[in-house]
Amino acid sequence: MRPLLSDARPAVRSFGLDLARYELARWAPPIEAIVALCESEHGDVRAFVEKALLAGDGKEHARYRIDPATLTTDAVYSFCESLDAGTRALGMQLIANNPRLAVPEELFRLTESPDRQVRAMVVRTLWKLFRDRGTTNGWVPAPPPSSILTKKKGAPEPERELPEPRHTTRPASDDALVAFFRRILFTLPPARPPLERGGKKKKRLRPLPSRRAKLELIQVMRDLAVEDTAFAGVISPVLEEFMGSRGRSEHAACLVALTRIRHAAGGAS
């Protein structure tokens, strides 16, 4: 199949794509082959592979759909480490669509990516994983009030949606987290994100504005420091240093973070 899809002649590639639409799910190519197809120089091939990876579970997609349940974290993160910008964007979309793939330890290895949009995705995802929701683990919202007269006898209780479980382990060592923290806070981002292939716009994860990325990272570290006094002692000096920022929002975020960290430490003692 790959020779057909890499052929320079459009008619030959079209034939290969027709075959893939009917046989890709049965062929089940290895993830390395899928990544290679995502990096193809031919737009029609890239579009088909993206469709196969993001397609729903409807019958109309059954013959070519790549089931996300078969994707491993190593496989998906290899997309984010690709030299091709479109392939990295696809990897980020797969992580956003499949929460089980958002593994903190694996996410942290992407913080060294030269792609600003990948780093922004890491900050955003870490915030979702570690943010303080203001609720206790296992808390369930109370059911809405209902009249005894209108409630039918023997009617089943409506299911209540459970909050997402929080991760309790930190994504990396203290020194590594602080190094990333300082890098984001004290490094100027590029003036603009890189252009898409051919200069054409394409749906992809929107990068966080630089200031928002900094604020969300401060919130992540704040919540981790509130729960871990040892980490609080490591990160507090960095927050104090960054309080000298000219931005009011960054200064305020650091001040709030330090106040909550010190309050938690005082309460613990």
**What is the pLDDT at residue 203?**
43
- pLDDT tens string 129-152: 766 555 555 556 666 665 554 555
More confidently predicted of 157 and 63: 63
Q: Are residues 88 and 176 in the same domain?
A: no
Q: Answer whether 246's CB lies under 8 Å from 189's CB.
A: no
Q: Are residues 122 and 30 in the same domain?
A: no
Q: Answer whether 125's CB lies under 8 Å from 95's CB.
A: yes
Structural domain contains residue 46: yes
- pLDDT tens string 199-239: 444 444 455 677 777 888 788 888 888 988 888 888 898 89
What string of DSSP letters covers 152-172? Answer: PTTPPPPP-PPPPPPP-S-SS
| Nearest of 54, 56, 36 to residue 45 by alpha carbon | 36
More confidently predicted of 112 and 88: 88
Structural domain contains residue 86: yes
**What is the pLDDT at residue 144?**
61
Q: Are residues 66 and 182 in the same domain?
A: no
**Burial status of residue 68 (CB atoms within 10 A of its CB: 0-12, 13-18, 19 or more):** middle
- pLDDT tens string 172-201: 676 777 777 787 777 755 444 454 444 444
d(CA 201, CA 235): 39
Domain containing residue 180: CATH number: 1.25.10.10
Cα–Cα separations (whole angstroms), residue 252 to 68, 221, 234, 257: 41, 15, 20, 8
- pLDDT tens string 24-82: 888 888 888 888 888 888 989 999 989 999 998 888 888 999 888 888 888 888 888 88
Q: pLDDT grade, residue 263 (50/70/90)? A: very high
Q: Are residues 54 and 183 in the same domain?
A: no
Q: Are residues 208 and 263 in the same domain?
A: yes
Q: pLDDT grade, residue 252 (50/70/90)? A: very high
* Domain span at 224: 102-131+170-193+204-269
Residue recorded with tokens 């870490």: 126
Q: Are residues 50 and 1 in the same domain?
A: yes
Structural domain contains residue 162: no
Number of domains the chain contains: 2
Structural domain contains residue 65: yes
Q: Answer whether 10's CB lies under 8 Å from 43's CB.
A: no
Q: Are residues 84 and 114 in the same domain?
A: no
Q: Residue 138 has which token pair?
A: 């296992």
pTM here? Answer: 0.62
**What is the pLDDT at residue 172?**
65
Q: Answer whether 7's CB lies under 8 Å from 16's CB.
A: yes
CA angle, corner 21, sides to 17 and 94, nearest 5?
A: 100
d(CA 248, CA 151): 53
